[in-house]
Structure 1
Amino acid sequence: MSPAPPTQQKTAGLAATTTVSQSQSFLGVTPPISMNASTPEELKRTEELVQTLRARNLFESEEEGQLREVVLGKLDKMVKQFVYQISLKRGLPDAIARDAGGKIFTFGSFRLGVHNPGSDIDTLCVVPRHVQREDFFELMHQMLLEREEATDITPVADAYVPVIKMKFSGLSIDFVFARLALPSVPAGLDLADNNVLKNLDERCVRSLNGSRVTDEILRLVPNVEAFRVALRCVKLWAKHRAIYSNVVGFLGGVAWAMLVARVCQLYPNACAGAVLSRFFRIMSWPQPVLLKPIEDGPLQVRVWNPKAVMTSEFKRAAEVVDRVMVGSAEWGELFARHDFFHRYKHYLQVIASSDSDERQRAWEGLVEARLRHLVMKLELVEHLVLAHPFIKGFRKVHKCASDEEAFSVANGVPPPAKAKNGDTADPATMREVYTTTFYIGLCVESRPAGASGPRKLDLSWPTFDFIKQIQSSDLYDEAVMAIVIKNTKKSQLPLDVFEGEEPRSRLKRPKSSANKNKTPPQPTEQPAKKIKSGDGEVRAASVDSMAASTPPLAGESAVSTPGVPMETTSTEVATPATKGSDTDMDTPMTESAPAPVAADAATVDMADVESVQAPADAVEASAATPATTPPSATPVASPFGDQAATESTTEQPSAEATSAPETPVVATLPQSTLAPVKKKKLDIKLKLAGSS
């Protein structure tokens, strides 16, 4: 028996309730938890929620809605014309070719009715059986190129779900393709009919799946209006709290929609505000939502589990919403910006770079899609409690005046100050380098009570294995693409990741009243610094004297190993700690400058270079790394061309610098001939902050 249509009662501001009789059949796999209608207080909170969403510009204007309808109408006509031309090409009579049809469907947030202004439209092109996927990526692609409204057209034929990405009249469109086993596509085609899936290949089934699932969700919720308001709120919350991304392992739009729809089924007569208050409590259950118990198979298949991150966010949201419903808090508190770039003391930067916008779009997409594999491997490292990926990358376009600058930018080193000040450069030598940086927060376990001695944090295997996996892709072109993995501290993060927010780690600390009468330490009396090497221990009389008097190290020649990624190590320059950083104010710290050397991947055992007096729960990690190169420049091959670029050590930063340069862990560049340099292995005592 199919469920009877619910009666919808709309209140002001899109809040809605539904009255469902107990005699009616229920929606979902279990009966509802409560059939109670919303209280006047819950309706009031729902109206306040809608006002908050409107104030945040989450509802598109009438003009934009009309533009979307116009664009979809044009695409539908293009699909019918596309099918007609292919039908004639296959030798079909003109009358049959005109009746072959072709139709578009929408899915995703637009079909659910929860799209924001400027959001994309997921569009499905459905064609009859004599039209092939190759035709879509050839003729349809050509038809789009001939349209003035279509820009930024990027076909991705080998994707898991083949798609043409583009902008049409300024609107972002994801255009996917599905070929049915039918001689024609009727105007009244219903994709909910399971018979349309007969005799289809997997990629066509996956393309149809988006539209079928979206329509099914709308059919299975008792109150569509309350569902839409609640889902808008959940999506906004998830994005602001940085847990909205199925690519890196969190939940995507369809998953969030299914969770909200399930809560709507359990409380069919609840308004949007009441649904939200139940949503965060139900989804905070200690056990995941399961259809059957998890079984362990014969193979140890490991996947990254975002449960730890998401559980804490659900708990916070539940507490906020509880206070909102009793009137002691406002909805805006729920959407407070995430603290990802303040939460951890240590981060990994994964930098993908290339020489053109088109290549960069494909290259960054590949790296982002594989990022969860790196996260999974990192969590196997001893003493590493959590590897937390951020949900998006940060893209930049760098104008480089020379090959040397292009090389540095590709390795994550910002251009020199003169390039930022707008100094003139020869346009003939200017070149663009496109970079996209992804971040992974690292949480290191606290030292157990009574434990002593150093602990090893070796990130070489996860990073090199990930780079090898990325470079094995057919998309990778070593002549124009590069990938770099670096570690950085919270105080060294670039300002663009904070998106206009003031970094907490760089704010000046208020002076303690207990220290007002103390005499400030003299610069010449810095604490001594130890470096342990294979030849014994060397104690510097002071930080400044060590930095000034340390000579270049000599040793055996390094020979480049074919097939082994190159490594960028660091030149240690001990300087006083930066004021306002997360280290002690009067404690010397280590800053570094990149210096490319050739090394075997097995010798890389760097986790961080932070020689500071760590707190009681700090972790010490020892590592064997190649020695740094002499201050003279070392010629290496540029990652984006045949000309040679020169990479040299940077000069010692001053104590007044606002933040320390970033410390490379591994820099993997396109393979090239590298001039031998002198190196010597050091056994450096490293310290990482404990619990983040």
Structure 2
Amino acid sequence: MNEKNADAIEVKCRNFLLEHNIIENHADIKKRENVLNLLRSLLSSFVRLTAKENGIKRDDFECQLLPFGSYGLGGYLKDADIDVVLLAPISIRRRNFSNHFSKLLKGHPSIREIEVIERTNVPIIKCVIDSISIDISFVRLRLATVSPDINLLDDSLLNGLEQTCLLSTDGPRVSQFILKHIYPNDLPTFRLALQCIKYWANQRYIYNKPIGYLNGGSWTLLLLQVYFTKRAQFDSSSPNMTMEFPPQQQRQSPFHYSSPPSSPTSILSSSSLSASSSSSQETSSIISPSRTVSFISLLESFFEIWSTWPWPAPVILTKSIPNVPGQPTTEISSITTMSEFKESLLPIVTPCYPVSSAAPCVTKSTLRILTRELQRANQIIHHPFHSLEDMLIKLFKPYNFIKEYRHFLKVTVSSDVMKSHEIWGRRMTHYLYRLVKLVEQAPEIKTVHPLTKVYNESVSYRTKYEEDLLRQGYTVYDTDTTLPLFPGILHMQYFLIGLEIDENYDLEDATIDLTNEIYMFGREVESKKNSKDSDVSVAVSAIKRRDLANLIQRCETI
């Protein structure tokens, strides 16, 4: 395919995503700029309050608020969240962030739904501004002040960081790593391909890391590996070139409002299929080529490579595994001895220290589902269609969960209080993985398919008996009206699982007994509760296809 045709396909695809409200238009982009500017406008007040409390001079330090993740890369979908990190000097403590910054958010009339979440590996403050959800993390660096062009890939910044701050640097560092290793002129193409992949994964219900699939970061790293492969092919066709970005091109991405400053450049071998480590030596740069890869070839290669990848062969984006700053780099072969990857079925190694698994919850069932979906996409994208639009419609066709399975489980989470409903909605996505692992151990079960979409409703009850039925996962119809009235409302969430039965098992002769697996899951969930969860109940039950269709229709019409 010549370059002119490749450009035309890219334009048509971008227009398709715009016309179908999959990506944002210029007005939406401007709205996000304004949201980020509003948050940054609070920094001066935050500095003033913190300086007063800690007894330091107000002009002695600066903080920075940097976006990362999908928004920081520019590869996000319409209505996506914004992840930002508040980088603070050593004179500011985490309690200052939790107390003062949250109060500033609560005091602003345009900011609502503020929630401080502290009991987690990466504590955040959540809020909503102009209908956009924001997650704000915090890193206390051992610096006197934080420069606007800080290079987070400088490993010396990690020396002496407390563990929570170290973990909170992962997302921002990976974002800078990705921006550092993509030629600026390839960024629009990379972003468009990423947006297509994310939308496809959402439509096919394989976009959720805690449940057992991949999230935006995981899909991005897989696309980056494909980009390295394609770029190596380009570089090998020009053996005399070692291309690097000029500092001015690195410092500002075309999405200037959303990209964190990039790091000083490192030399990349023209034949390398993987990037250099993040602590590479600084060097002068030669100008970036006009473009090294087309959108359609990047997308085709993505599905072709990952639909046939020999998992659990690891995906490693660096020449060696990043290690503790100042220590020798770790050999690639040592991945098998790392605790994060000992039982990993789909090992994707994050490219910055501290190294982690980008797909830690993949099970044998969800791996089968991911592979099946990648193979389907690969067949579609290589099939001759009358038009690009026809191909995209087929590729993005929503997955029909009810049609694909005959047997289903329903996990019902019920609570009296809306706050509990919201908290357990987040928690259950992490707990559901354990139920999948337990059920797929049953010899009669071939595949356990957790649906990433969650259904919600609020249901009124008249008696204690009706409440008990609802909490156990039953639908309440007409019940005994002579019972004492005990009216109330339950907030319900339904997590759905499809079951594929092994073809060697004759279901007509017997039923499948999952009592033990469900009991063990129930015990695990109960062990996670605390005194504030007394209103929450979790029940697992079988549900017929007809009843499932009615439940989905009922929840979607609310």
Which residue, out of 355, 359, 362, partners 2:420?
Answer: 359
Q: Within 2, Cα distance between the matches of 1:38 and 1:325? A: 19
Q: What's the secondary structure of 2:383's corresponding residue?
A: helix
Mapped to 2, the partners of 1:340 and 1:315 lie a distance apart of: 18
**What residue number does 1:243 align with?**
206
Could you tell me which residue of structure 2 aligns to residue 232 of structure 1? 195
Corresponding position of 1:433: 490
- 1:392 matched to 2:453? The reply is yes
> 5 Å matches for 1:84-95?
84-92=48-56
The structure-2 alpha-carbon separation of the partners of 1:270 and 1:202, relative to structure 1 and needing over 3 Å to count, comes to same
Task: Report the counterpart of residue 80 of structure 2 in structure 1.
Answer: 119
Change (3 A) 1:403 1:138: farther
Which SS does the other structure have where 2:307 is aligned? coil
Aligned residues: CA RMSD: 3.0
Give CA-to-partner distance per residue, 1:610-645, whole Å, 9 cap, x none: xxxxxxxxxxxxxxxxxxxxxxxxxxxxxxxxxxxx
Deviation at 1:479, TM superposition (A): 3.0
Q: Is the 8 A contact 2:411 2:494 kept in 1?
A: yes
* Contact kept? 2:116, 2:126, Cα under 8 Å: yes
Residue 378, structure 1, aligned to residue 378, structure 2: no
Please report how far the alpha carbon of residue 87 of structure 1 lies from its aligned counterpart in structure 2 after TM superposition.
2.2
Residue 67 in 1 paired to residue 128 in 2?
no
Question: Does the CA contact (< 8 Å) of 2:18 and 2:24 recur in 1?
Answer: no
* Alignment partners' CA distance in 1, 2:403 and 2:203: 14
| Secondary structure class of the residue paired with 1:283 | helix
Q: Deviations over 1:127-147 (max 9, x none)?
A: 122322223222222222222
Residue 77 of structure 2 aligns with an amino acid whose one-letter code is N
CA 1:129/1:312 → structure 2, altered by over 3 Å: closer, same or farther?
same
Contact 1:49 1:273 in 2 (8 A): no
**1:516: which partner in 2?**
none
Please list every run of 5 or more consecutive structure 2 residues that lacks an aligned counterpart in the other structure.
Answer: 232-291, 317-331, 345-360, 480-484
| Alpha-carbon shift at residue 254 of structure 1 (Å) | 0.8
Asked whether the equivalents of residues 363 and 476 of structure 1 are also in contact (C-alpha less than 8 Å), the reply is no
Q: Does the 8 Å CA contact 2:336/2:342 hold for their aligned counterparts?
A: no
Secondary structure, aligned partner of 2:208: coil
- CA contact under 8 A between 1:120 and 1:172: conserved in structure 2? yes
How far, CA to CA, are the matches of 2:142 and 2:387 in structure 1? 57
Equivalent residue, structure 2, for 1:316: 376
Amino acid corresponding to residue 148 of structure 1 in structure 2:
P
Counterpart Cα distance in 2 of 1:296 and 1:388 = 30
| Secondary structure at the counterpart of residue 137 of structure 2 | strand
Partner in structure 1 of residue 295 of structure 2: 272
Aligned partner of 2:149 in structure 1 is: 188
Partner of 2:308: 285
Aligned mates of 1:346, 1:364 — CA distance in 2: 24
Q: Tell me which of 142, 147, 158 is aligned to 2:119.
A: 158
Distance 1:121 1:496, change over 3 A: farther
Match of 1:626 in 2: none
CA distance in 2, matches of 1:284, 1:199: 42
Answer yes or no: is 1:145 the counterpart of 2:106.
yes
Give the 3 Å change call, closer, same or farther, for CA 300–261 of structure 1 in structure 2: closer
Structure-2 change in CA distance of 1:130 and 1:465 (3 Å)? farther
Equivalent in 40, 56, 68 of residue 107 of structure 1:
68
* CA apart distance, 1:47: 3.1
Superposed displacement of residue 297, structure 1 = 9.1
Give the Å deviation of 1:415. Answer: 4.4
Structure 2 CA distance for partners of 1:500 and 1:215, relative to 1, 3 Å? same
Shift of 1:226: 0.9
- Match in the other structure for 2:409: 348
Tell me by how many angstroms 1:189 deviates: 2.4
Q: Secondary structure at the match of 1:349?
A: strand
Structure 2 CA distance for aligned equivalents of residues 98 and 459 of structure 1: 64
Q: Which has the larger radius of gyration?
A: 1
Q: Is the 8 A contact 1:126 1:177 kept in 2?
A: yes
What whole-Å deviation, never above 9, does each CA across 1:569-619 have from its counterpart, x for those lacking one? xxxxxxxxxxxxxxxxxxxxxxxxxxxxxxxxxxxxxxxxxxxxxxxxxxx
Q: Is the 8 A contact 1:234 1:256 kept in 2?
A: yes
The aligned residue for residue 598 of structure 1 is: none
Rounded to whole Å, the distance in 1 between the matches of 2:428 and 2:556 is 27
* Alignment partners' CA distance in 2, 1:145 and 1:51: 39
Partner Cα separation in structure 1 for residue 445 and residue 338 of structure 2: 26
Q: How far apart, in 2, do the equivalents of 1:409 and 1:40 lie? A: 60
Q: Secondary structure at the match of 1:177?
A: strand
Distance (Å, rounded) in 1 between the aligned partners of 2:532 and 2:343:
30
1:226–1:500 Cα change, 3 Å: farther
Aligned-partner SS, 2:153: coil
Letter in 2 for 1:136: F
The one-letter code matched in structure 1 to 2:446 is: V
Distance 1:441 1:164 in 2: 35
- 1:179 has 2:140 as partner: yes
- Identity rate, percent: 23
**Alpha-carbon shift at residue 340 of structure 1 (Å):** 2.0
Matched with 1:629 is: none
Task: Give, in whole Å, the separation in 2 of the partners of 1:412 and 1:311.
Answer: 32
**Displacement after TM superposition at 1:185 (Å):** 2.2
2:42 counterpart SS class: helix
Q: Is the 8 A contact 1:356 1:432 kept in 2?
A: no
Distance 1:214 1:500 in 2: 37
In the TM superposition, what is the alpha-carbon distance from 1:320 to its structure 2 partner? Answer: 0.7
Q: Distance in 2 between matches of 1:433 and 1:54?
A: 39
Give the structure 1 partner of residue 272 of structure 2: none
Write the deviation string for residues 650-692 of structure 1: whole angstroms up to 9, x where unpaired: xxxxxxxxxxxxxxxxxxxxxxxxxxxxxxxxxxxxxxxxxxx
- Deviation string for 1:172-217 (max 9, x for gaps)? 1111111111222233323222222121122212212111111211
1:307 aligned partner: 367
2:408 matches 1:408? no
Q: Where do 1:661-676 residues align within 5 Å? A: none
- Cα distance in 1 for partners of 2:368, 2:532 equals 37
Deviates more, 1:160-169 or 1:312-321: 160-169
Q: Residue 512 of structure 1 corresponds to which residue in structure 2?
A: none
**Against the structure 1 CA distance between its residues 170 and 285, is the aligned structure 2 distance closer, same or farther, given a 3 Å change threshold?**
same
Cα deviation digits, residues 367-401 of structure 1 (max 9, x gap): 21111111111111121111111113212222344
Shift of 1:296: 8.0
User: What residue number does 2:182 align with?
Assistant: 221
Deviation (angstroms), 1:41: 4.1
Query: Residue type matched to 2:432 in 1?
Result: L
- Provide the residue aligned with 1:421 in structure 2: none
Cross-structure match for 2:500: 443
1:478-493, aligned counterparts within 5 Å? 479-493=534-548
SS at match of 1:491: helix
Is the alpha carbon distance of 1:463 and 1:121 closer, same or farther for their aligned partners in structure 2, counting shifts above 3 Å? same
* Match 1:80 to one of 24, 44, 51: 44
In proportion to residue count, which structure has more helix? Answer: 2
Name the CA shift for 1:213/1:296 in 2 (closer, same or farther; >3 Å). Answer: closer
8 Å contact kept, 1:45–1:325: no
Per-residue deviation, 1:501: 10
Cα distance between partner residues in 1 of 2:171 and 2:507: 55
SS at structure 1 position matched to 2:92: coil
Distance 2:120 2:169 in 1: 15
Separation of aligned partners in 1, 2:462 and 2:539: 21
| Structure 1 letter corresponding to 2:221 | M
**In structure 2, what is the Cα distance between the partners aligned to 1:296 and 1:383?**
33
Structure ranking higher in strand proportion: 1
Residues 492-548 of structure 1 deviation map (CA, whole Å, 9 limit, x = unaligned): 20435369999xxxxxxxxxxxxxxxxxxxxxxxxxxxxxxxxxxxxxxxxxxxxxx
CA distance in 1, matches of 2:338, 2:35: 48
Partner-residue secondary structure (3-state), 1:67: helix
Q: Is the 8 A contact 2:460 2:489 kept in 1?
A: yes
Report the equivalent of 1:369.
430
Q: Secondary structure at the residue paired with 1:323?
A: coil
- C-alpha change, 1:381 and 1:132, in structure 2 (3 Å) is same
Q: Count residues with an aligned counterpart.
A: 452
Aligned-residue offset at 1:62: 2.5
